[in-house]
């Protein structure tokens, strides 16, 4: 039996054809991009995403597919009219719109109550904030909306005509009661948001339906192919890397970097929310995850390539080669004497600061590009170390960690991470854990496996293990002492 795992991200969508052993038999990637119509505005065109998904699916050569599962980014809302026309581009989570609406939410409800119901700290990134902004600033648009969907349920709807949304994705709206698994009348009522326009919340792995005849024909699939609700991409990456128990975690290394850590209900504390850590439902009943993330991780590495190595990047691109491999070979072997704060797109947890930018510190006349490049790699690893330490202060400890995503394919990056974090870090056989995660849910939904645990045991296999180097650990502990002070000092200089 074969499955297709879709992973819809910010820069493109991945479609992996996966067998019952978790082997990726075929892989397609189709690009698109977010749009920035003005400073601080970040938007996504749902029609472009649907076109890319259709192209990726139709490009899969083997059509003996039992089910398609979907993982997507969260928060961005798609508004549609009675005729299923997309009314506007979706406001992305990193868009500044929704910032002022934090005060509106706090005026309508008590902070602690909102957090207890929704599992989310009140920040500008969530769908509720964006919808409140639209209501105030684009009331005509809001009034025309007859359906409101996140990207996961939108794609399932386009494939099947049915509307369901998994609990984890639904929780990213800040409108879901995570204990009940239903839209919260209390929160939506206080904010004046009509949740009847949203899709029905369901457990991840629920079957939405079969392919519409017209869609099956255009894509070249059988109408009998099931479409399965997957989940928020971080949740699916956790499942696809074998996270089954409390304390287990996955470090997803892409444009953004996110540690997704499994929790039980008793681990949820107000201190988490005070440090901007969320709590969202996992794939098992009464189990949750929290997310510790840096939105500028892979983005910072890409920035270095395009800004510092732009000439060589263009040359390598023309040859169809990756400059990153060469940069890794040239990278300084010793710890860099330069510090790098990797906030080229702002920070993530625990600060959630979009105004403080990135910085190199300690550049000397002897500093060369390989020193700067290593400093960038170290900076993104230091930033996640800050998150690990903050989680521990909240009483949440990582028992073990698996790394996935593009960054996990670099032995250099993985060894730097193991040394800075001072812990063993494993990889899995497939770096594309998100598509593996939804394939696991598909395998259970189609009866190939009796349970998620059984499917994980068969479809997730270990890769490499990276062990800390004691000598490097000591040097990095000294450098970490300085790194912890950089954010506060730089913020005092740059201002609020």
pLDDT score at 43: 96
> What's the mean per-residue pLDDT of the chain?
95
> What does the pLDDT average to over 8-33?
92
In the predicted structure, residue 496 carries a pLDDT above the cut 70:
no
pLDDT score at 61: 66
Nearest to 102 by CA among 357, 344, 295, 352: 352
With a pLDDT cut of 70, the percent of the chain lying above it is 99
pLDDT score at 426: 95
Given pLDDT bands bounded at 50, 70 and 90, which one contains residue 400? confident
Query: Fold identical between 2-241+435-453 and 294-430+463-494?
Result: yes
Kindly compute the dihedral angle of the four CA atoms of residues 250, 253, 257, 262, in this order, to the nearest 10 degrees. -10
pLDDT score at 39: 87
Structure-block tokens of residue 269: 């504390």
> What does the pLDDT average to over 187-212?
97
In the predicted structure, residue 183 carries a pLDDT above the cut 80:
yes
pLDDT score at 355: 83
> What does the pLDDT average to over 334-345?
95
Please tell me the class of the 2-241+435-453 domain: alpha beta
CB 297 within 8 A of CB 257: yes
Residue 369 CA: distances (Å) to CA of 97, 372, 457:
37, 5, 44
Structure-block tokens of residue 129: 């904030």
Domains of the chain, by residue range, sit at: 2-241+435-453, 294-430+463-494
Give φ, ψ of 184 to 5 degrees: -85, 115
Kindly compute the dihedral angle of the four CA atoms of residues 260, 209, 181, 231, in this order, to the nearest 10 degrees. 10
Given pLDDT bands bounded at 50, 70 and 90, which one contains residue 399? confident
Given pLDDT bands bounded at 50, 70 and 90, which one contains residue 367? very high
> What does the pLDDT average to over 463-488?
97
Structure-block tokens of residue 9: 């991200």
> What does the pLDDT average to over 158-176?
98
Give φ, ψ of 369 to 5 degrees: -55, -45
**DSSP H/E element including 166:** strand 164-166
Q: What is the 3-state secondary structure (H, E, C) of 225-266?
A: CEEEEEEEHHHHHHHHCCCCCCCEEEEEECCCEEEEEEEEHH
pLDDT score at 494: 78
Q: Tell me the pTM.
A: 0.91
**DSSP H/E element including 101:** helix 101-108
pLDDT score at 346: 87
Q: Radius of gyration (Cα) for the chain, nearest Å?
A: 22
> What does the pLDDT average to over 79-107?
96
CB 278 within 8 A of CB 413: no
> What does the pLDDT average to over 163-172?
97
Given pLDDT bands bounded at 50, 70 and 90, which one contains residue 354? confident
311-326, pLDDT tens digit by residue?
Answer: 999 999 999 998 999 9
Query: CATH assignment of 294-430+463-494?
Result: 3.30.420.40
In the predicted structure, residue 62 carries a pLDDT above the cut 70:
no
In the predicted structure, residue 495 carries a pLDDT above the cut 70:
no
272 half-sphere exposure, CB direction, 13 A CA radius: 23
274-304, pLDDT tens digit by residue?
Answer: 999 999 999 999 999 999 999 889 999 999 9
Classify residue 273 as left (phi > 0), alpha (psi -120 to 50) or beta: alpha
190-212 CB burial, b ≥16 within 10 A, e <16: bbebebeebbebbbbbbbbbbbb
């Amino acid at each position: 039996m074969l499955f297709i795992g879709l992973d819809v991200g910010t820069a493109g969508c991945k479609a992996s054809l996966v067998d019952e052993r978790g082997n990726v038999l075929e892989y397609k990637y189709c690009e698109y991009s977010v749009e920035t119509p003005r400073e601080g505005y970040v938007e996504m065109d749902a029609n472009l995403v649907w076109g890319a998904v259709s192209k990726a699916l139709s490009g899969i050569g083997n059509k003996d597919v039992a089910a398609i599962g979907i993982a997507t980014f969260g928060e961005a809302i798609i508004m549609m009219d009675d005729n299923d026309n997309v009314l506007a581009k979706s406001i992305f989570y990193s868009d500044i719109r929704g910032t002022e609406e934090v005060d509106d939410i706090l005026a309508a409800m008590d902070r602690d109550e909102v957090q207890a119901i929704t599992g989310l700290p009140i920040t500008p990134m969530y769908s509720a904030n964006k919808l409140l902004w639209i209501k105030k600033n684009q009331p005509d648009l809001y009034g025309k909306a007859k359906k409101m969907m996140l990207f996961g349920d939108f794609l399932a709807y386009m494939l099947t005509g049915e509307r369901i949304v998994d609990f984890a994705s639904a929780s990213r709206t800040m409108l879901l009661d995570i204990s009940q698994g239903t839209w919260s009348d209390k929160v939506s009522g206080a904010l004046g948001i009509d949740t009847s326009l949203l899709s029905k919340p369901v457990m991840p792995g629920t079957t939405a339906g079969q392919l519409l005849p017209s869609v099956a024909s255009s894509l070249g699939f059988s109408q009998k192919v099931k479409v399965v609700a997957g989940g928020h991409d971080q949740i699916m990456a956790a499942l696809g890397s074998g996270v089954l128990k409390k304390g287990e975690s996955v470090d997803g290394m892409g444009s953004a970097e996110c540690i997704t850590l499994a929790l039980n209900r008793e681990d949820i504390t107000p201190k988490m929310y005070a440090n901007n850590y969320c709590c969202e439902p996992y794939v098992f009943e009464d189990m949750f995850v929290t997310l510790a993330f840096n939105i500028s991780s892979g983005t910072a590495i890409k920035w270095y390539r395009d800004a510092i190595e732009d000439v060589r990047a263009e040359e390598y691109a023309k040859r169809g080669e990756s400059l990153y491999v060469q940069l890794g070979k040239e990278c300084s072997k010793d710890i860099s004497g330069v510090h790098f704060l990797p906030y080229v797109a702002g920070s993530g947890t625990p600060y959630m600061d979009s105004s403080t930018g990135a910085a190199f510190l300690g550049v000397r006349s002897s500093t060369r590009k390989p020193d700067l490049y290593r400093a960038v790699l170290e900076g993104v690893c230091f930033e996640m170390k800050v998150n690990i330490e903050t989680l521990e202060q909240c009483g949440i400890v990582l028992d073990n960690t698996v790394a996935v995503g593009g960054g996990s394919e670099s032995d250099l990056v993985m060894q730097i991470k193991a040394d800075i974090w001072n812990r063993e870090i494993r990889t899995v056989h497939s770096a594309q854990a998100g598509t593996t995660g939804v394939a696991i849910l598909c395998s259970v939904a189609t009866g190939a496996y009796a349970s998620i645990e059984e499917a994980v045991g068969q479809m997730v296999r270990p890769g490499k293990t990276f062990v800390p180097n004691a000598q490097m650990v000591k040097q990095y502990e000294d450098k970490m002492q300085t790194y912890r002070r950089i954010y506060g000092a730089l913020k005092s200089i740059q201002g609020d």
